[in-house]
Amino acid sequence: MQVTQDTLALIGNTPLVRLKGPSEAAGAEIFAKCEFTNPGASVKDRAALFIVEDAEARGLIRPGGTIVEGTAGNTGIGLALVANAKGYRTIIVMPETQSREKMDTLRALGAELVLVPAAPYASPCHFVHTSRRIAEETENAIWANQFDNVANRRAHIVGTAEEIWEQMDGRIDGFTCAVGTGGTFAGVGLGLKQKDERITIALSDPFGAALYEYYACGELKSEGSSVAEGIGQGRITANLEGAPVDTQFRISDEDGLHWVRRLLDEEGLCLGLSSGINVAGAVQLARKLGPGSRVATILCDTGFRYLSTLYNPEWLEAKGLPLPERD
Ligand code: PMP
């Protein structure tokens, strides 16, 4: 076994696992990238590393500088880890409505938290605009801007897509995942199309997001809602521009939850809801592509981040979601 000298080299090169239950259900071969094995336990470590290293390469941040971002979740955790390893400070702006667990995790990592009231995107108080202002007013600081900074999707073109292609020996018929910033979906989609144009790229959109309608009918329109964290986009971010989209599915929280529970009970994987939605989408895509087809998707983050929500019966009841059927 080799010794890794640099902790940041632990980001990426994640294992690919064949999922038994989903493969059986689809009569196909379904594979998933285990992004929960990144040091920050999510796919967002990849974007965090690329965003910071892109800013360094362009001379936008000098030693001892500060990374500012408006995020409540996995991106903040990834940025805080990368910043610690490189000697930067992190300021994370988040709405005060976010879960206690997330605030505690970010504080434990040493990030400075700025809490703002929940406000619509059009309001100058919105956490994204507040984070941009703080970055502008702070010396030697960068605004990570994960939604519109395409260093985010580059992490997936040169990293995730390349890894999937190699791990599957170039034998892949389709890829699908949901969209938060679009970095993963567009980056993997573009990267795989460069390898083989015949690979079908499918969007798996939760309810409450506007992209299913956009790719189906050209109109940004949403319907319903979802409790999934980290996904559900209402606009075409810079990361999504030019994304190859061959087909799209709309996936319910119930379908996602079904796979979260089966993967936990039958395969020992503890995951967040976006992973379940991705797997539900992969099953649909594999059925569409036909028996024996080979489809890849993303397991975005660990379920240990959702013990007080997804894995908490009272929370599930309050949200009107079904409880797990266990003896
Ligand atoms: N799942 C989770 C749990 C996330 O935190 C995110 C990031 N927002 C995503 C999926 C989507 O990733 P991306 O931002 O690359 O679209």
Verify whether ligand 1 is closer than 6 Å to residue 73 (CB atom).
Answer: yes
* Residue 327 confidence (pLDDT): 59
Spans of all domains in the chain: 8-39+154-319, 43-146
What are the Cα distances from residue 37, in Å, to 14, 60, 227? 7, 30, 23
Nearest CA to ligand 1 atom 6: 230
> pLDDT digits over 168-213, tens only?
999 999 999 999 999 999 999 999 999 999 999 999 999 999 999 9
Among 179, 175, 168, 178, residue whose Cα is nearest residue 189: 175
Q: Which two tokens stand for residue 286?
A: 């594999």
Verify whether ligand 1 is closer than 6 Å to residue 297 (CB atom).
Answer: no
Q: Are strands 29-34 and 16-18 parallel, antiparallel or unpaired?
A: antiparallel
* Strands (DSSP E) found in the chain: 16-18, 29-34, 66-70, 89-95, 112-116, 141-143, 174-177, 200-206, 247-251, 294-299
Verify whether ligand 1 is closer than 6 Å to residue 179 (CB atom).
Answer: yes
> pLDDT digits over 8-54, tens only?
999 999 999 999 999 999 999 999 999 999 999 999 999 999 999 99
Task: Note if 44 is an active site residue.
Answer: yes
| Residue 119 clears pLDDT 90, i.e. is over it | no
- Choose, from 20, 33, 44, 288, the residue flagged as catalytic: 44
Identify residue 247 by its one-letter amino acid code: T
Decide whether 8-39+154-319 matches 43-146 in CATH topology.
yes
CA 264 to CA 154: how far, in whole Å?
Answer: 31
Among 196, 172, 212, 176, residue whose Cα is nearest residue 284: 176
CATH number, span 43-146: 3.40.50.1100
Q: What are phi and psi of 138, to 5 degrees?
A: -100, 135
Tell whether pTM > 0.90. Answer: yes
At the topology level of CATH, where does 8-39+154-319 sit? Rossmann fold (3.40.50)
Q: In sequence order, what are the residues at sequence separation of 6 or more whose Cβ sits closer than 8 angstroms to the Cβ of residue 169?
A: none
**Distance between Cα 23 and ligand 1 center (Å):** 24
> pLDDT digits over 244-280, tens only?
999 999 999 999 999 999 999 999 999 999 999 999 9
Supply the mean pLDDT for the chain. 95
Verify whether ligand 1 is closer than 6 Å to residue 67 (CB atom).
Answer: no
Q: In sequence order, what are the residues at sequence separation of 6 or more whose Cβ sits closer than 8 angstroms to the Cβ of residue 112?
A: 89, 90, 91, 92
| Residue 223 clears pLDDT 90, i.e. is over it | yes
* Residue 100 confidence (pLDDT): 78
| Residue 134 clears pLDDT 90, i.e. is over it | yes
Count Cβ atoms within 10 A of the Cβ of residue 67 and give its class: 0-12 exposed, 13-18 middle, 19 or more buried.
buried
**Distance between Cα 238 and ligand 1 center (Å):** 15
Among 189, 196, 175, 192, residue whose Cα is nearest residue 293: 175
**Distance between Cα 300 and ligand 1 center (Å):** 7
The ipTM, to two decimals, is 0.99
CA 293 to CA 303: how far, in whole Å?
Answer: 28
Nearest CA to ligand 1 atom 5: 230
